[in-house]
């Protein structure tokens, strides 16, 4: 008699796994489409490292790709049963992190501030609160923001190459703010913590750039006159980033 | 705290930071970016008016709440693990020669019911309104250990192993909406009124999961569910095999030769079940499977020896006495069980 009971349990278990497998296949298809759009947005945004004038156009292009992502997320949200977000989220959380990063970069380039979680969720057509359904997970958002810091350290280098000495200063301020923001969080010893540990290298990198600019008198705050002459290190421009 | 000073500027800062994303409607002011605080930027201490700082304060709260909840569930899970191990230990004391099975089973049952009523109820309350899968990893070990104890109890007392739907139903609680306090009496798992629900979710395992969300039946009554993942259940059954192997060997020690064959057959069924599973997305699963196989081989050897030499033993000792058995079942586990005889409680 035990025989039939055990068999029944395993038959049901197999049935259950088969159903789950089916749903995962559907999820993967949608995720692939969203991922493709995200990739195109990322490619479009790479232009910021080589040209200053093309930045607004790149942002506009990226935003059209976000629209595609949004449509994909709506489909995904319809597919995931209520209350099972975290059962399947391994399929999309890396992708979501990257898209959050792209959105954060776009918003930073356009407006110069950090996109909030609410706004990022809104752009992707997601909820903020878990209770409301398919939402933007807070850790995914924070991971995206951390990726932004790395990209900005690269952006700072390249804007110097392109002759914009102001940008690294604003970036430095922004990343320092991010850093102090992250210091408010009690992170567990998880992936977010590890990624956060990498932030200090981004901060350091950007501070070095600011230092290089300052020491050569290339920053034109207040002492614009001396900066245009660009003499070798002078006592007037000895202030260094904090 | 300088709470007052910070508060007034909160609104402005935040509405700027969110890009008008519907944060606080009152702060209609200027679009202040992240650089708002630059004038005061020389201050090394935290600039509370900075929109980034403000939003991160919110994120910190949210993360802390999540981690705390996680920790509380982990703590409960540990308690469940410990108690389950003790129950299993207790069930191993069943000895037909002492005729104590009824008494031991009754005690095990009581303690299992206690787990349902206390620890699992606490977890269920923590999970109310949450996505249970988010915290599933926090209590998976406790759950597996519990399933092991529970099914071992059922096996030992001669019942059929429950389906996971039945166990899931027992992990469904109704309680008052008033601030959750333990209500030992009202939450007695009651088969008669949960039976219809089992039927509806039968063959449709997906339906059991949304139950993690709150459903207000009548006003004042909430339903909390401690989600049992079928995978946890099956892994728990895998652990059960180890216990049955011990039982099989102990049975030999206590002279219950016939029972060995029954135990062995059950483990074969279990192994067949595990083999039939094609794609469990879990590393634990294949590990459990190889352990299961080892246990199975051990108990098959016991049965082999009984069949092969059982007759001879009867000749040697004039009956299946312990000493005679010890001499021919050269099995380390058996020896250990033999030594503990009498002291084993």
Residue A237 lies in a domain: no
Q: Looking at A128-132, B10-14, B51-55, B264-268, which range is the least confident one?
A: B10-14
Chain A: nearest CA to B299, how far in angstroms? 17
CB contact under 8 Å between A12 and B56, yes or no, is no
Which parts of B are annotated binding residues for Mg(2+)? 148, 243
Average pLDDT over residues A39-52: 92
Over residues A75-100, the pLDDT tens digits come to 999 999 888 899 999 999 899 999 99
The phi, psi pair for B271, rounded to 5°, reads: -65, -40
**CA A13, A15, A18: angle at the middle one, nearest 5?**
110
CA dist., res. A83 & res. A152, Å (int): 36
**Spans of all domains in chain B:** 53-176+222-228, 257-332
Chain A: nearest CA to B123, how far in angstroms? 16
pLDDT at residue B161 in the model: 85
Residue A237 has pLDDT above 70, yes or no: no
Asked whether the domain spanning B257-332 has the same topology as the one spanning B53-176+222-228, the reply is yes
CB contact under 8 Å between B53 and A184, yes or no, is yes
Other CB atoms within 10 Å distance of the CB of residue A202: 23
- Taking the Cβ of residue A170 and every Cβ of chain B, the question of whether any pair is shorter than 8 Å is answered with yes
Predicted confidence band of residue B172 (pLDDT cuts 50, 70, 90): confident
Are B41 and A241 within 8 A, CB to CB?
no
Six-digit token string for A123: 């752009």
Domain span at residue A135 reads 4-216
Six-digit token string for B312: 């001879």
Residue A59 has pLDDT above 90, yes or no: yes
CATH of the domain at A172: 1.20.58.190
Out of A11, A141, A184, name the one closest to residue B57 (CB). A184
Residue B241 has pLDDT above 80, yes or no: yes
Q: Looking at A175-184, B137-146, B257-266, which range is the least confident one?
A: B257-266
Predicted confidence band of residue B131 (pLDDT cuts 50, 70, 90): confident
Average pLDDT over residues B89-105: 85
Predicted confidence band of residue B33 (pLDDT cuts 50, 70, 90): very low
Task: Count the alpha carbons within 13 Å of B183 in the hemisphere toward its beta carbon.
Answer: 15
Residue B226 has pLDDT above 90, yes or no: no
Out of A21, A113, A130, name the one closest to residue B51 (CB). A113
Residue B242 has pLDDT above 50, yes or no: yes
Residue B305 has pLDDT above 80, yes or no: yes
Chain A: nearest CA to B342, how far in angstroms? 31
In 3D space, the residue among B136, B167, B84, B183 whose CA is nearest the CA of residue B282 turns out to be B136
Residue A223 has pLDDT above 80, yes or no: no
CB contact under 8 Å between A118 and B22, yes or no, is yes
pLDDT at residue A131 in the model: 80
Average pLDDT over residues A131-156: 92
CA dist., res. B10 & res. B15, Å (int): 9
Average pLDDT over residues B63-80: 93
pLDDT at residue B3 in the model: 41
pLDDT at residue B216 in the model: 41
Class of domain B257-332: mainly alpha
Average pLDDT over residues B1-29: 38
- Taking the Cβ of residue B199 and every Cβ of chain A, the question of whether any pair is shorter than 8 Å is answered with no
Select the more confidently predicted residue: A29 or B341.
A29
Select the more confidently predicted residue: B185 or B62.
B62
Select the more confidently predicted residue: B176 or B124.
B124
pLDDT at residue B312 in the model: 57
In 3D space, the residue among B287, B244, B66, B167 whose CA is nearest the CA of residue A130 turns out to be B66
Q: In the predicted model, what is the mean pLDDT of chain A?
A: 87
Six-digit token string for B257: 């030769």
Q: Looking at A7-11, B95-99, B143-147, which range is the least confident one?
A: B95-99
In 3D space, the residue among A177, A119, A183 whose CA is nearest the CA of residue A149 turns out to be A177
Q: How far is CA A208 from CA A112, A134, A216, B45, in A?
A: 21, 41, 12, 22
Are A13 and A80 within 8 A, CB to CB?
no
Chain B: nearest CA to A212, how far in angstroms? 20
Are B27 and B14 within 8 A, CB to CB?
yes
CB contact under 8 Å between B34 and A173, yes or no, is yes
Residue A236 lies in a domain: no
Furthest-apart CA pair in chain B: how many Å?
100
Q: How many helices (H) and strands (E) does chain A have?
A: 10, 0
pLDDT at residue A121 in the model: 94
pLDDT at residue A97 in the model: 95
Six-digit token string for B280: 């469990």
Say whether B172 sits in a helix, a strand or coil: strand
> With contacts defined as CB-CB under 8 Å, which chain A residues touch B35?
112-113, 170, 173-174
- Taking the Cβ of residue A85 and every Cβ of chain B, the question of whether any pair is shorter than 8 Å is answered with yes
Q: Which residue has 């990739």 as its token pair?
A: A39
The domain total for chain A is: 1
Class of domain B53-176+222-228: mainly alpha
- Taking the Cβ of residue A25 and every Cβ of chain B, the question of whether any pair is shorter than 8 Å is answered with no
Q: In the predicted model, what is the mean pLDDT of chain B?
A: 71
pLDDT at residue B45 in the model: 62
Q: How far is CA A5 from CA A93, B266, B273, in A?
A: 39, 10, 10
Select the more confidently predicted residue: A185 or A218.
A185
Six-digit token string for A203: 């901060």
In 3D space, the residue among B286, B185, B268, B193 whose CA is nearest the CA of residue B231 turns out to be B286
Residue A176 has pLDDT above 50, yes or no: yes
pLDDT at residue B277 in the model: 87
Q: How far is CA A180 from CA A174, B5, B50, in A?
A: 10, 20, 10
Out of A7, A83, A114, name the one closest to residue B52 (CB). A114
CB contact under 8 Å between B160 and A2, yes or no, is yes
Six-digit token string for B183: 């209500």
Percent of chain B with pLDDT over 70: 63
What is the residue-wise DSSP string for A95-153? HHHHHHHHHHHHHHHHHSSPPPHHHHHHHTT-BSSGGGSSB--HHHHHHHHHHHHHHHH
Q: Where does A130-231 show beta strands of DSSP type E?
A: none
Average pLDDT over residues A7-17: 90
Percent of chain A with pLDDT over 90: 71
**CA dihedral of residues A226, A229, A233, A236 (deg, nearest 10):** -10
Minimum CA–CA partner of B263 in chain A: A2
Sign of the Cα pseudo-torsion (B291, B161, B77, B60, in order):
positive
pLDDT at residue B112 in the model: 92
CA dist., res. B152 & res. B241, Å (int): 9
- Taking the Cβ of residue A240 and every Cβ of chain B, the question of whether any pair is shorter than 8 Å is answered with no
């Amino acid at each position: 008699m035990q025989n039939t009971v055990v068999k029944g349990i395993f038959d049901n278990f197999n049935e259950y796994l088969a159903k789950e497998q089916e749903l995962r296949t559907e999820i993967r298809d949608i995720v692939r489409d969203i991922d493709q759009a995200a990739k195109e947005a990322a490619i479009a945004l790479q232009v910021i490292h080589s040209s200053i004038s093309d930045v607004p156009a790149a942002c506009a292009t990226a935003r059209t790709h976000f629209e595609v992502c949004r449509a994909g997320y709506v489909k995904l949200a319809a597919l995931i049963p209520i209350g099972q977000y975290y059962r399947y989220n391994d399929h999309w959380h890396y992708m979501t992190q990257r898209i959050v990063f792209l959105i954060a970069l776009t918003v930073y380039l356009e407006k110069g501030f950090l996109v909030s979680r609410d706004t990022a969720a809104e752009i992707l057509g997601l909820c903020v609160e878990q209770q409301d359904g398919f939402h933007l997970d807070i850790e995914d958002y924070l991971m995206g923001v951390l990726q932004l810091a790395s990209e900005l350290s690269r952006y700072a280098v390249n804007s110097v190459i392109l002759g914009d000495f102001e940008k690294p200063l604003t970036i430095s301020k922004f990343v320092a703010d991010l850093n102090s923001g992250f210091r408010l969080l009690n992170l567990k010893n998880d992936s977010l913590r590890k990624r956060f540990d990498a932030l200090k290298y981004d901060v350091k990198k950007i501070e070095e750039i600011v230092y290089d600019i300052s020491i050569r008198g290339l920053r034109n705050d207040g002492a614009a006159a001396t900066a245009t002459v660009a003499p070798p290190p002078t006592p007037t421009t000895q202030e260094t980033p904090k | 705290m300088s709470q007052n000073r910070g508060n007034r500027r909160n609104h402005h800062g935040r509405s700027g930071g969110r890009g008008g994303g519907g944060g606080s409607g009152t702060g209609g002011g200027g679009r202040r970016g992240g650089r708002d605080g630059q004038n005061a930027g020389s201050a090394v201490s935290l600039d509370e008016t900075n929109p980034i700082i403000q939003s991160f304060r919110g994120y910190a709260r949210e993360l802390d709440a999540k981690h705390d909840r996680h920790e509380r569930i982990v703590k409960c899970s540990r308690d469940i693990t410990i108690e389950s191990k003790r129950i299993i230990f207790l069930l191993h004391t069943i000895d037909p020669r002492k005729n104590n099975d009824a008494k031991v089973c009754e005690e095990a049952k009581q303690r299992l019911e206690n787990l349902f009523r206390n620890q699992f109820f606490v977890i269920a309350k923590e999970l109310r309104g949450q996505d249970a899968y988010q915290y599933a990893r926090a209590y998976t070990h406790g759950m597996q250990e519990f399933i092991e104890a529970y099914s071992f109890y059922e096996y030992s007392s001669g019942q059929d192993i429950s389906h996971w739907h039945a166990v899931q139903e027992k992990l469904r609680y109704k309680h008052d909406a008033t601030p959750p306090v333990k209500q030992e009496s009202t939450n007695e798992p009651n088969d008669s009124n949960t039976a219809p629900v089992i039927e509806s979710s039968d063959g449709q395992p997906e339906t059991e999961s949304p139950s993690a969300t709150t459903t207000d039946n009548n006003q004042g009554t909430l339903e909390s569910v401690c989600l049992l993942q079928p995978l946890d259940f099956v892994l728990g059954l895998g652990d059960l095999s180890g216990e049955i192997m011990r039982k099989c060997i102990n049975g030999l020690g206590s002279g219950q030769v016939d029972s060995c064959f029954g135990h062995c057959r059950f483990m074969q069924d279990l192994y067949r079940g595990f083999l039939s599973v094609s794609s469990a997305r879990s590393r634990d699963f294949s590990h459990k499977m190889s352990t299961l196989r080892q246990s199975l081989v051990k108990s098959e050897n016991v049965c082999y020896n009984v069949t092969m030499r059982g007759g001879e033993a009867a000749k040697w000792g004039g009956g299946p006495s312990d000493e005679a058995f010890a001499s021919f079942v050269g099995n380390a586990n058996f020896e250990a069980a033999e030594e503990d005889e009498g002291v084993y409680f």
